């Protein structure tokens, strides 16, 4: 046992080494750490950009006084792709008009439309959003804008590909509600 302890002390106290060996060991670790930090920073940056884009689209829709149509919704998807610097095939947008019925204490869907790989919301799905929707007075409406974007990290350092989702609700500003044109 004493021999093992003496050997460990000698190893601890030995200050001779080769800088080339130490460099060969530490440089790949430092390089990986740098790439990992860059990938993590890029991930947070992309989340922030997507959230700002979702708020922008929600604000644009909340100011509409004329009914929305398919080409308008296609345009919001193009705006999302542009603002997030993604290909149009990598983004999806879903817009839902939600009304609160205080008599029955339930949230109802006026209409819901989506572009991209996400489907529109049903009445049951809107009712399930109770935890994330705001408290509203009777017959009040909000526009719910959900954006979806596929994110691929710039380097393979352990982060996985993922889907960035945002959920934004905005009260209509210049009209009591935003309508959908039956096209």
Considering the domain boundaries, does residue 180 fall inside one? no
Instruction: Name the helix (H) or strand (E) containing 143.
Output: strand 141-151
Residue 52's pLDDT is 96
Residue 21's pLDDT is 77
Considering the domain boundaries, does residue 183 fall inside one? no
Residue 60's pLDDT is 95
Considering the domain boundaries, does residue 14 fall inside one? no
Considering the domain boundaries, does residue 76 fall inside one? yes
Rounded mean pLDDT, 86-113: 92
Q: What is the pLDDT of residues 105-157, one digit of tens each?
A: 999 999 999 999 999 999 899 988 889 999 999 999 999 999 999 998 888 88
Q: Of how many residues is the chain composed?
A: 183
Torsion of CA 81, 84, 87, 93, to 10 degrees: -40
Cα gap 126→120, rounded to integer Å: 10
The H helix count followed by the E strand count for the chain is 4, 4
Cα gap 30→12, rounded to integer Å: 24
Rounded mean pLDDT, 9-33: 82
Total domains in the chain come to 1
- Compute CA distances 48 → 51, 150, 154, 179, whole Å: 5, 14, 16, 29
Considering the domain boundaries, does residue 181 fall inside one? no
**Residue 125 backbone dihedrals phi, psi, to 5 degrees:** -65, -35
**Residue 94 backbone dihedrals phi, psi, to 5 degrees:** -130, 130
Residue 154's pLDDT is 86
Q: Which of 20, 84, 29, 75 is nearest to 52 (CA)?
A: 84
Considering the domain boundaries, does residue 4 fall inside one? no
CA 133 to chain centre: 17
Residue 19's pLDDT is 76
Q: Within 10 Å of residue 47's Cβ, how many Cβ atoms?
A: 16
Q: What is the pLDDT of residues 44-74, one digit of tens each?
A: 999 999 999 999 999 999 999 999 999 999 9
Q: Which domain holds residue 147?
A: 19-170
Considering the domain boundaries, does residue 125 fall inside one? yes
Cα gap 50→45, rounded to integer Å: 9
Question: pLDDT band at residue 183, thresholds of 50, 70 and 90?
Answer: low
Considering the domain boundaries, does residue 149 fall inside one? yes
Cα gap 120→165, rounded to integer Å: 15
Residue 111's pLDDT is 94
Residue 89's pLDDT is 81
This prediction's pTM: 0.82
Cα gap 106→99, rounded to integer Å: 9
Question: Average pLDDT of the chain?
Answer: 90
């Amino acid at each position: 046992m004493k021999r093992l302890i003496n050997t460990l002390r000698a190893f601890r106290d030995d200050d001779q080494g080769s800088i080339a060996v130490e460099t060969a060991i530490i440089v790949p670790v430092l390089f990986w750490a740098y790439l990992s930090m860059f990938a993590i920073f890029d991930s947070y940056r992309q989340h922030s950009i997507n959230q700002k884009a979702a708020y922008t689209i929600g604000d644009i829709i909340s100011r509409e006084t004329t009914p929305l149509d398919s080409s308008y919704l296609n345009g919001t998807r193009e705006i999302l792709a542009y603002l997030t610097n993604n290909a149009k095939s990598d983004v999806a947008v879903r817009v839902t008009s939600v009304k609160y019925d205080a008599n029955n204490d339930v949230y109802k869907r006026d209409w819901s439309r989506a572009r991209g790989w996400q489907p529109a919301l049903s009445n049951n799905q809107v009712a399930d959003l109770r935890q994330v929707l705001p408290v509203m007075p009777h017959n009040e409406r909000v526009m719910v804008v959900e954006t979806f974007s596929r994110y691929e990290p710039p380097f393979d350092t352990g982060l996985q590909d993922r889907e960035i989702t945002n959920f934004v609700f905005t009260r209509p500003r210049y009209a009591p509600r935003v309508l959908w044109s039956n096209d």
